[in-house]
Amino acid sequence: MLQRLDFLEQKYEELSIKISDPEVMSNQKEWKKLCKDHSELEGITIKYREYKQVLEEIDYNKEILNDSESKEFHSLAQEELKDLQEKKGEIEQELKILLLPKDPNDEKNVFVEIRAGTGGDEAALFAANLFRMYSKYVENKKWKVEMISVNDTDIGGFKEVVFMIKGHGAYSKLKYESGVHRVQRVPDTEASGRIHTSAATVAVLPEVDDVDVEINQNDLRIDVFRSSGNGGQSVNTTDSAVRITHIPSGIVISCQDEKSQLKNKEKALKLLRARLFEIAEQERLKSIAEDRKSQVGSGDRSERIRTYNYPQGRVTDHRIGLTIYKLDNFMDGYIDEIIDGLIAHSQAEKMQQMGESI
C-alpha cells in the first residue's frame, strides 16, 4: 500500500506542475479536468506527507534511545515515541479510508423523492415530517432545496414530494437514506390514544450530467398544463407546469414549481436522467447483488431501514443497530449521528473486503 501512496504523491506533484503551465491553462476544458484531479489527490497527499514526517520523527527518537551518550534525553524520547506511535496508528487508519474506492457520485447534488406508504393520512403527515427533517438538515449544512413537485393532502400531509438538494457532497451524506422509514406514534385523530404504525418511502438519486445518460427526444412525450396548489399569481393562469413521459420505460415526471415552463422542463429532464441512471445502475449491480445485501445502503426502496418511535422519543437505524434517544433533535434536522454511523460502517465493510494493511 505504501507503493500506492508513493505513486499518488508522484501523480499529485506532476499535476501541480501541469496546472501551472500556461500552455495547459490555455485549454480551459483540459485545465479544469486536471485541477479536479489535482484537488482529489490533495487530501491524501497531505496526509501521506504527514505520515512520512511522523515516521522520520519515530526513527529520530529511536536513535536517541540507542545512543548511550544521550541518556539524559532517554525519558523524553520514550514519552515522545509513545505519542508518535499512537499518531502513526491514527494516520494509518485515515489513509486506509482515503484509499478506499470512491463513489463517483459522492460530490453530486441529489434528488429526493418521499412518498406516503401504508397508513393513510398519518403516512402522508409523516412524509411531510420527513420533508421538514431533510429541509432542516439542508439548512444546517448551508445547502439549498429546490422543489420539483408536490402532491399534498387537505390536512397538511404529502402523498408525494420531490425536491432537489444542492450542496457539495450531498449524495455522499444522503445516499443511505433510500428505503422505508417507519413511524410509531399516536395520531392526532386517535381518540383512544392507541399507537399506530405508518410508513413512508424515501428515494435518493444523484444528479447526472447529460453525458452520463443520453435521452432520445423521440422517446419523450411532453405535455404542459396549469399549476395547482400554492404558487402565487401564476397558479391556474398559465400553462407553466410540465409532464414528461419517457415512452420506452414508462417513467412519468411532472414539475410545476417554477413559473417558467422552460425551467420546469429543465428540472423534469434532470430528474428523468437521474431515474434512468438509477435503473441502469441497478442492472449493472445485479451481478454483485449478494455482495450488496451484506452492505449498508443497498438502495433497496422496499427495505425497512429506520423506525421513528415518538412515545419513547427514539430513532433506530436497523441496518447498523444504532438507537438514539433524541427524536425531537433528529426531526429538526440534526441527523448526522446516524449518517456518520452509516458512513463509518460502510467504510469498515470496504476495508474488510480490501483485506489490506498498511
DSSP codes, 141-189? HT-EEEEEEEEE-TTS-EEEEEEEEE-TTHHHHHGGG-EEEEEEE--TT
- Please give the tally of structural domains in the chain: 3
On whether both 197 and 324 belong to a single domain, the answer is: yes
pLDDT of residue 284: 64
Question: Is there a contact between 240 and 216 (Cβ–Cβ < 8 Å)?
Answer: no
Q: Are 153 and 124 in contact (CB under 8 A)?
A: yes
Q: State which of 261, 283, 305 marks the end of a domain.
A: 283
**Are 8 and 131 in the same domain?**
no
Please indicate, yes or no, whether residues 206 and 222 belong to a single structural domain of this protein.
no
Judge if 56 and 116 occupy the same domain. Answer: no
Q: Are 10 and 77 contained in the same domain?
A: yes
Whether residue 357 lies inside any domain: the answer is no
The answer to the question of residue 328 being in a domain is: yes
Cα-based distances in Å from 92 to 185, 344, 351, 355: 45, 16, 12, 14
Q: Which of 98, 128, 157 is the C-terminal boundary of a domain?
A: 98
Task: Kindly give the confidence (pLDDT) of every residue in the chain, 358 residues in length, as a single tens digit, with 9 standing for 90 and above.
Answer: 788 899 999 999 999 999 999 999 999 989 988 998 899 899 999 999 999 999 999 999 999 888 877 777 888 889 999 999 999 999 998 898 888 878 888 989 999 999 999 889 999 999 999 999 999 999 999 999 999 999 999 999 999 999 999 999 999 999 999 999 999 999 877 767 889 999 999 999 999 876 668 788 899 999 988 776 544 444 445 678 999 999 999 999 999 877 888 989 989 999 999 989 888 877 766 654 544 444 455 445 567 999 999 999 999 999 999 999 999 999 999 999 999 999 999 988 888 776 644 4
> Other C-beta atoms within 10 Å of 37: how many?
15
89 lies in the same domain as 11: yes
d(CA 120, CA 101): 42
Assigned domain for 288 exists: no
Number of residues that make up the chain: 358
Query: Which of these, 265, 280, 184, lies nearest to 222 by C-alpha position?
Result: 265
Is residue 8 located within the same domain as residue 74?
yes
Collapsed DSSP state (helix, strand, coil) of residue 348: helix
178 within domain boundaries: yes
Q: How far is 332 from 83, CA to CA, in rounded Å?
A: 40
Domain containing 37 equals 2-98
Helix (H) or strand (E) holding 130: helix 120-141
Residues forming a β-bridge with 252: 245
Out of 36, 71, 98, a domain closes at 98
H-helix or E-strand spanning residue 309? strand 304-309
